[in-house]
């Protein structure tokens, strides 16, 4: 009895699949669905492959060197991020460019010890925070004298 029930199930399932495979509406809707899925995947690949350019408003030559180092660090780690300097003269201009969305981030000297402050409009740009932060740490480490270890 179980073998007959299994065979009956198989016959019904096979018939349903063959009917669906010949149904024009099913074939058209399946084809459209596949095209939409492939289109979305292609779009995501295209957008992910293009590099990102982050504009940074900053003051002075040291900021230019930091942004070059940031781009180099990002490239060395396989990220396609480039930092473009929008050089201005004052901290007020930096803040104005960031608040007007003419720059993605701002970089200001902080204090007399060579520190830096990253400025964002509502929130910080994550690429800027990661790579500029890494470049600042690298610059600080290269300036720090390394003497003998304490005893």
Encode pLDDT of 61-109 as tens digits: 888 888 899 989 988 888 888 888 898 988 899 989 988 888 888 888 8
Domain layout of the chain by residue ranges: 2-47, 52-143
Does residue 151 surpass a pLDDT of 60?
no
CATH code matching the domain that covers 52-143, chosen among 3.40.50.300, 3.40.190.10, 2.60.120.10, 3.40.30.10: 3.40.190.10
Distances (CA, A) of 149 to 104, 145, 146: 42, 12, 8
Give residues with Cβ within 8 angstroms of 14, minimum separation 6: none
Q: Are 85 and 94 in contact (CB under 8 A)?
A: no
Confidence of residue 7 (pLDDT cuts 50, 70, 90): confident
Tokens matching residue 130: 């990661």
16-25, 101-110, 115-124: least confidently modelled range:
115-124
């Amino acid at each position: 009895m179980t073998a007959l029930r299994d065979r009956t199930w198989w016959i019904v399932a096979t018939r349903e699949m063959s009917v669906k495979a010949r149904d024009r509406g099913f074939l058209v809707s399946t084809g459209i669905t596949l095209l939409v899925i492939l289109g979305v995947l292609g779009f995501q690949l295209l957008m992910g492959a293009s590099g990102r350019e982050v504009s940074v408003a900053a003051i002075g030559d040291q900021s230019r060197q930091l942004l070059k180092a940031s781009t180099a660090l990002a490239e060395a780690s396989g990220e396609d991020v480039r930092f473009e300097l929008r050089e201005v003269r004052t901290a007020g201009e930096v803040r104005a460019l960031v608040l007007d969305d003419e720059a993605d981030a701002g970089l200001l000297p902080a204090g007399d010890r060579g520190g830096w402050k990253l400025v964002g409009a509502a929130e910080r740009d994550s690429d800027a925070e990661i790579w500029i932060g890494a470049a600042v740490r690298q610059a600080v480490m290269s300036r720090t004298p390394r003497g003998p270890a304490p005893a």
